[in-house]
A = this chain, B = another copy of it.
Amino acid sequence: MTEPNPSGRPGRWRSGAESRQRILEAARALFREHGYGGTTVRAVAAEAGADPAMVFYFFGTKQGLFGAALEMPEGVPTAIESIFVGGLDDIGARMVRTLVENLDTSDRAPFVTLTRSALTHDESENLLRQYIDREITARLVTLLGTPDAAVRVALLNVQVLGLAMARYIVRIEPIASASVDDLVTWFGPLAQHCLTGPAPSR
């Protein structure tokens, strides 16, 4: 009992958790920017001001680091939650706004990491698909309840994927530089149309 314990929990505090955190943040940034294959453990360590060996000490392997870096930052699950409260009427606009607002703030962008990596790295391809399936697709399908729900949700997923690609990866103008409100204006009705518009046949 020489100092106050800021964590409020018993045991050691201010341990290597700090380095671990810095490494994690660096890993998130680099994986997001260069994907899995394009990011080296050495680069992560350098960015974090730590030693490469530390990375392996904490996360065992590059894969482990990748998995840990993809843990959803707090706030993302609740953001997803906010999409689903309020029913189906404005869900298109809400979905676009939530998506873009969260992906625009650089810290909460594991999806960008994933999409960047999904093209060259099988593991992240699975992670991406699983996350989308579990958190978005499945919930929307049950929410719709119609026979063509699967197709409708797939169409919406294409909107989301395309928008994310255009704004964050391929950077197609004017999508990349547009304001959040513009994007909601453009894509909200489109997304809404996918879910509650005229039946897409078959």
Contact = CB atoms under 8 A, between A and B. Distances in A.
Interface of A: 34-38, 115-121, 125, 128-129, 132, 150-151, 154-155, 157-163, 165-166, 169-175, 182, 185-187, 189-190, 193-194, 200-202
A165 B162 contact: yes
A139 B177 CA distance: 22
A166 B164 CA distance: 12
Given A185-B202, A186-B200, A129 B165 contact: no
A17 to B, nearest CB: 30
Nearest to A201: B185
Contact of A119 (B35, B154, B190): B35
A159 B165 CA distance: 10
Given A118-B169, A118-B170, A158 B154 contact: no
